[in-house]
Structure 1
Amino acid sequence: MSRLTATLVDGLVGGHRPLYSAAVALIQRGGHPTDLVTVGHLSRYADADGTPVAPEALQPALESTIFDLASVTKLFTTTVLLGLVDEGRMSLDEPIADWLPTFGGDERRRITLRHLLSHTSGLPALLQLWTDWPEPASRVQAVLRAPLVNRPGASFEYSCVGFMVAGLLAERITGQPLPDLVHERICRPLGLTDTGFLPDPARAARAAATEHQPHLGRGMLRGSVHDENSWSLGGTAGNAGLFGTAADVARFGELLRQGGAVDGVRVLRPETVAEMTRDQLPPAIDPGFRHGLGVRIGDPHWMGTLAADGAFGHTGFTGTSLLVDPSRDLVVVLLTNRVHPSREWSDIAEIRRAVAEFAAPPVCRG
């Protein structure tokens, strides 16, 4: 049993409780898969109390298993918007109020796309759309009218609200729904056939279960977005909602590692990817890592030793992550369902670090 396999198997056992029921790790070096491990089952529990599913209902996790990518969605939203910047349809530093009039007053007038994508907009981290607003139209307005908690550009506040605004901004600029934009601008040209919002029944049947949410009348989730805010907006928000496989996420990672193009298919200009992966935070703002446009840079909490060399990527609340280390020509994907059957059961930061460090041979510096 390889060290990588042993690491993922340990997560199936956990300590007090298992860390997940399913996990897929895929490591690519120089654009080629070198390590692929799948462990566990798509669903292990019937409820948050840990009632096991019947043995005959267990389905093994496979390379083709689809996971709720959660906040890894933010990287796709970012890529759509940076594509619009490449086309000259907007700029990183123009006020978003030029497109979204609710941002036209007071300090909100200063918010730019750069602020949204670097989490320096001053918008709050979260709203509880599913409890505080009764229907989708009022929820959209709540997002667009969310009050600032800080001055734009003054601090870092990881904001799902900011990325919901970003998704709505992309829709306003283009007149197209966000799922169509992600499909047409990223998934179709790159051949990501298993990535998208709102999985159809066939794809949902291949999905790993996430959380039991009877308080929302949803039961055990499988193929339906876990994030409550995205769900309350129809499952197609800029902060969360995408589903995909490890192979698809790795190919997207290759897009970023290779400067915006894979196998001759260009999605972003090289200079745009360079800006995306450049630290956007002023030195005085120090949340314990650095941040680009959409991507987190050098975060040791989940990147381990790769953080020291400027690796970048993103995690997802459901237990997913994409890590890219250009200095090693490395892409690391870890997909799990760590919220199954309850988000209170586990934290997989240690597993993420272990997988990253397994993938990290020393860099030859000459």
Structure 2
Amino acid sequence: MKTTIAIIMGLFLGFNSFSQTSSNMKLEESINEVFESYAHYNRFIGNVLISQNDKIIYKNSFGDADAENFKKNTENSIFSIASVTKPLTAVGIMKLVDQGKLSLETPISTYFPNFIPDFSKKITIRHLLNHSSGMQANVGRIDDQGNGLMPGENPITLNELFEKFKDSKLKYEPGTGYEYNNFGYSLLAYIIENVSGLNYADYMEQAVFIPANMKNTSVNIYKVSTQRAFPHIGLGMNEFKKLNFPIHSSWIIGAGNINSTTGDLYNFMKALEEGTLLKPVSVDKLYSLTQSIGINNSEYGLGWRIENKEGEKWVNHTGLLPGVTSIIGSLPQKNMKIIILSNATSTDLITESTFQGKGQFVDGEIIDNVIAVLQGKNPELLPIAIKMINQNTADFSKTYMLDSDHSLLLRKQGDGYSLETLGKESWSVFTYKFSRDAKEDNKTSETALFFANAMSSQNFEGLADYANDDMKGFLGSEEGINQLKGMWAYFIKQAGEFKSYNIYKTEGEEGSKTVNIRFHFEKEDVGFVIGINSKNQIQGMFNDDNIRTSSNQKVKLTQVSENEFFINGHQNGGMQDLKIKVSEKGLILIDDNINYKAAIKPSF
């Protein structure tokens, strides 16, 4: 009897082990599909490491470490981790707190008495750590008022930065708001030097890298130069090359000047979790002493963002420099850690100002798809190009009507397909959702169109009659009208001659609606969102940041199935990707999961 039980238990355990192995293999395959789909379009190069329950479940390398010398990334490649430096700097600071050498409530005037002396007594170390200092002074970011500096390739000293920021003020009282500030983390690096008596690089080596077993991690330099992953530009584009536009590390000390590997960063996260680096109470403070970011209930702790991904806590930090992007994070409920390091961006991020797309895909589409897979959901993979066998080789062209003003010409020439836009005015397939006429025959549209006509004609007589009591004070005043006139003059200056306007979207229930208006100019488009109440009165207005501009009237199609095509928006000025489905009945343009149907235009 005992022998029979032992055999049954052995079979059960063997089946359970096989089941777990099979499940892990499927998870690994699903993760790999995400990265392969982006690598297929050259939208990802770099290294990835993902763990669950302290076991690595996925590790892979993609693309070139050095495109000029045809050298590939390997698991030992060392990357610039950009702003992922900040969680490490925060741990360096907290180690000094653990040792009783400083306090989170210590004002920065203790160390920098001559830096903005009217305000530095109010700013504490904690404020620097969670970006709540309120300082105008910043590096790598310039706000709408022109505050801040862009880093350069020549070295700069702290005193030189202080001189440049000598007239700097506070935007808000420290601890009452959030604004991401690289310079704050540079000040933390200099505080580390002041308190420890070591330079930042040596201190981080002794206090963080060695205890966490980060053998290939260093400040400023690459410990093994032959393993360096060089920065590149041209991510997702036709031309891909190594970037020779260095930023001197003195501009971003403590904020973005550490180089590391996926394996070392994994060791860092484990050491933090296991209490190797900090006391448990200090580890807890990293995630609990937060400042609200003001978006989607997200918060910033001491070197970490605390966000939500589909109902699950996502503790992370990202990094971005020219030719470099990175992300590390954890899903605590699943005990999963994710590390992605990439050595490519689409542009150099500094000299290129017209590219509308993202500089990279890691912090966005890729991480969202990876987390979706880890949560057991289906990712949105990029379609893989195929070559049809026994395809009808005859060339053809067909015209499809989206509406009376917008048509599409689908053409096949040889093995290639293209799509061209036709209409009274030039338009692009990427901006159809903004170009189409969505006005309705009702009072809501009448109010929105009156505003649009007033703006475009600069004749505001009677506009206040379309406003509620709160907005009458603005739209009926000389000051308010002058603001609108100033905005329009700025649009003309920046975007050129005004062409036309249209309502492209109306949303909301009866009683409160928003109407999206597009103003089409010679060089680019501008959008407004108008809030309209149940009495069809304007109750608010703000800029529409979703408006995109494209002059591409002809695009190349990538065939992904017999009747489906993919339009690579990234290679068309950084626009969104689109899909096309063709049938005997017509054509469907798919933009952000919205289907726009086009009927075959009869030939005469």
TM-score, normalized by length of structure 1?
A: 0.79
Partner of 2:278: 268
Pick the structure with more helix per residue: 1
Please list the CA deviations of residues 95-143 of structure 1 after superposition, one character each: whole Å capped at 9, or x if unmatched: 1212221357323211011100110001244342645998435434348
Write the deviation string for residues 325-365 of structure 1: whole angstroms up to 9, x where unpaired. 22222111111123266346534310121223333459xxx
Secondary structure in 1 aligned to 2:218?
coil
Verify: 1:80 aligned to 2:101, yes or no. no
Contact 1:156 1:287 in 2 (8 A): no
Report deviation, 1:90. Answer: 0.9
Q: Is the 8 Å Cα contact of residues 49 and 262 (structure 2) preserved in structure 1?
A: yes
Tell me the equivalent position of 2:229: 208
Q: Is contact 1:113–1:166 with CA below 8 Å preserved after alignment? A: yes
Whether the 8 Å contact between 1:99 and 1:173 is mirrored in structure 2 is no
Match for residue 43 of structure 2 among 3, 11, 19: 19
Instruction: Structure 1: give runs of 5+ residues left out of the alignment.
Output: 45-52, 213-218
Aligned equivalents of 1:191 and 1:360: distance in 2?
Answer: 30
| Partner in structure 2 of residue 309 of structure 1 | 312
Q: In 2, Cα distance between the equivalents of 1:340 and 1:69?
A: 17
Matched residues in 2 for 1:189 and 1:104: separation?
A: 37
| 1:211 CA drift (Å) | 4.3
Stretches of structure 2 that go unaligned for 5 or more consecutive residues are: 1-27, 140-147, 234-240, 350-354, 378-604
- SS for the counterpart of 2:177 is coil
Counterpart in 1 of 2:372? 357
Letter in 2 for 1:78: A
Question: Who is 1:35 aligned against?
Answer: 58
Question: Distance between the aligned counterparts of 2:156 and 2:112, measured in 1?
Answer: 20
Shift of 1:232: 5.2
Counterpart position of 2:295: 287
State whether residues 143 and 161 of structure 1, in contact with CA within 8 Å, keep that contact through their aligned partners in structure 2. no
C-alpha distance in structure 2 between counterparts of 1:239 and 1:360, whole Å: 31
Alignment TM-score, normalising by the size of structure 2 = 0.49
Mapped pair 1:100 → 2:76: no
Alpha-carbon separation, structure 1, partners of 2:154 and 2:347: 27
Aligned mates of 2:107, 2:348 — CA distance in 1: 40
**Which deviates further from its counterpart, 135-144 or 75-84?**
135-144
> Quick one: higher RCO (CA 8 Å, sep 6+), 1 or 2?
1
Q: Residues 332 and 78 from structure 1, CA distance in 2 versus in 1: closer, same or farther, beyond 3 angstroms? A: same
Seen in structure 2, the aligned counterparts of structure 1 residues 172 and 287 have a Cα distance that, compared at 3 Å, is: farther
Range with bigger deviation, 202-211 or 105-114: 202-211
Cα distance between partner residues in 1 of 2:169 and 2:333: 40
Provide the C-alpha distance between the structure 2 equivalents of 1:143 and 1:311, rounded to a whole number of angstroms.
37
Deviations 1:279-309, CA, capped at 9 Å, x for gaps: 5226xx62331111110001x5xxx43xx33
- Structure 2: distance between partners of 1:179 and 1:360: 38
Query: Match of 1:319, SS?
Result: strand
Q: Give 1:2 shift.
A: 1.6
Q: Which letter does structure 2 place at the counterpart of 1:240?
A: G
| 2:209 pairs with 1:195 | no
Deviation string for 1:168-190 (max 9, x for gaps)? 11111112111111100011112
- In the alignment, is residue 255 of structure 1 matched against residue 263 of structure 2? no
Shift of the 178–58 alpha-carbon distance from structure 1 to 2, 3 Å rule, reads same
- Once the two structures are TM-superposed, the CA of residue 164 in structure 1 deviates from its matched residue by 1.0
Counterparts of 1:256 and 1:358 in 2: how far apart (Å)?
Answer: 26
CA pair 167-137 structure 1, distance change in 2 beyond 3 A: closer
Moved more, 131-140 or 75-84: 131-140
Provide closer, same or farther for how the CA distance between residues 293 and 77 of structure 1 changes in structure 2, counting only shifts above 3 A: same
CA shift, 1:43, in A, is 3.0
Bigger share in strand: 2
Aligned partners of 1:86 and 1:144: how far apart in 2? Answer: 32
1:115 is aligned to 2:115: no
Structure with greater Cα Rg: 2
3-state DSSP class of the match of 2:337? strand
Structure 1 vs Structure 2 CA RMSD: 2.9
Label 1:187 to 1:155 Cα distance change in 2 as closer, same or farther (>3 A): same
